[in-house]
Amino acid sequence: MRIDAVLAADDPRLADYTLAREPAELKRRGIFLAESREVVAALVRAGRYRVRSVLATRSILSALAAELSLLGGEAPVYAAEPALMTGVVGYTVHRGCLAVGERGPGSSVPEMRAAAFGNPRLLVALEEVSNPDNVGGIFRNSLAFGAGGVLLGPGSGDPLYRKAIRTSMAATVRIPFAAVPDLPAALGRLREDGFTVVALTCREPAVDLDDFVRQGRPGKLVLVAGSEGAGLKPGTLAAADAAVRIPMAPDVDSLNVSVAVGIALHALSRLAA
């Protein structure tokens, strides 16, 4: 494995990394940034996205030798000191490891289902969940409870934003996702294919999650969640077969959306097995 030393922050070979604080420009160019040894290792091993380059300290590159060998020499590997890496990206690089990946053309819902990482009978759909911490947490929960893929409705955050990748513990580079321009229409097509659409909401006439699981029949399920403020839109709720809520103490009106999705997935995974 060839490793090229980088001695200057303005080295043109690191041009991609200088965009670290410009997520919109990274996305426009069809690339994304991954941070930390663990995330970069998962990115390489998952093989879902082409790795464009790796930038890390020599000690971390040594620890990543097995993963880097999987790249077959196709992606350049650069060694640099932490201070230089900080100068390149514009913020302190605590973990000493970065990589640039290529987004590719994106997936349709059928392609996402065909590439399901976990259980293809259990999917998640998001509507206007924009916070990267919540997006990352939902992908992490989806990985933990076996969801096969995630649909992203309009207004949803970018799973390949570096903070979302980091929060997800690299789940966003492992679980396939598909952006859909019309979420109710996409849910309708899943219903036609035998999925039961389950909306997660506090609004009436939602039933308790435990009661739904107890009374439900095994089958294909898609769990739909919305933003913490507005929740799901009326049109999206109308596209659901059922609405469920998570029982809480009387003086608590809601949960963080990532936590709520995790609880619901744990329960619904028994029906989608």
The reply to whether 65 and 136 lie within a common domain is no
Q: Does the residue 115 lie in any domain?
A: yes
Same domain, 116 and 84: no
Which residues have a Cβ under 8 Å from the Cβ of 243 and sit 6 or more positions away?
Answer: 198, 199, 200, 201, 203, 205, 206, 207, 237
Q: Which two tokens stand for residue 163?
A: 């903070």
Q: Domain check: are 93 and 115 in the same one?
A: no
Band of pLDDT at residue 208, cut at 50, 70 and 90: very high
Instruction: Tell whether 220 is covered by a domain.
Output: yes
- Look at residues 64, 83, 102 and tell me which one is the last residue of a structural domain: 102
Domains identified in the chain, total number: 2
Q: Where does the pLDDT of residue 57 fall: very low under 50, low under 70, confident under 90, or very high at 90 and above?
A: very high
Is there a single domain that holds both residue 92 and residue 52?
A: yes
Report the CATH number at residue 179.
3.40.1280.10
Torsion, CA 95, CA 152, CA 215, CA 220, rounded to 10: -100
For residue 217, pLDDT beyond 90: no
Residue 96: φ, ψ to 5°: 65, 25
213, part of any domain: yes
- What is the C-alpha to C-alpha distance for residues 107 and 151, in angstroms, rounded to an integer? 10
pLDDT higher than 90, residue 55: yes
Instruction: Indicate whether 33 and 60 sit together in one domain.
Output: yes
- What's the burial of 109, exposed, middle or buried (CB within 10 Å: 0-12/13-18/19+)? buried
Write the single-letter amino acid at 199: A
Same domain, yes or no, for 198 and 80? Answer: no
Looking at the structure, tell me whether residues 82 and 118 fall in a common domain. no
Q: Are residues 90 and 113 in the same domain?
A: no
Residue 172: which domain range? 109-268
d(CA 71, CA 51): 8
**For residue 69, what pLDDT is reported?**
97
Q: What residues have CB less than 8 Å from 160, skipping those under 6 apart?
A: 27, 32, 101, 103, 172, 173
Question: Which of 85, 102, 119 corresponds to the end of one domain?
Answer: 102
- 177 lies in a domain? yes
Pair 88, 197 in one domain? no
In-domain check, residue 273: no
Question: Once rounded to an integer, what is the mean pLDDT over residues 234-258?
Answer: 92
Judge if 89 and 117 occupy the same domain.
Answer: no
Say if residue 195 is in the same domain as residue 254.
Answer: yes
The β-bridge relationship of strands 207-208 and 195-200 is unpaired
248 Cβ neighbours under 8 A, 6+ residues apart: 254, 255
pLDDT at 1 over 80: no
Helix, coil or strand: residue 35: strand
- Looking at 68, 102, 136, the residue that finishes a domain is 102
Note the helical H segments in the chain: 23-28, 37-46, 58-63, 65-69, 82-89, 109-114, 132-144, 162-167, 183-192, 209-215, 234-238, 257-268
Query: Based on the domain organization, do 93 and 144 belong to the same domain?
Result: no
Question: For all residues of the chain together, what is the average pLDDT?
Answer: 95
pLDDT in tens, 138-195: 999 999 999 999 999 999 999 999 999 999 999 999 999 999 999 999 999 999 999 9
Identify the CATH number of the domain in which residue 28 sits.
3.30.1330.30
Q: Are 205 and 75 in contact (CB under 8 A)?
A: no
Q: Is residue 48 part of a domain?
A: yes
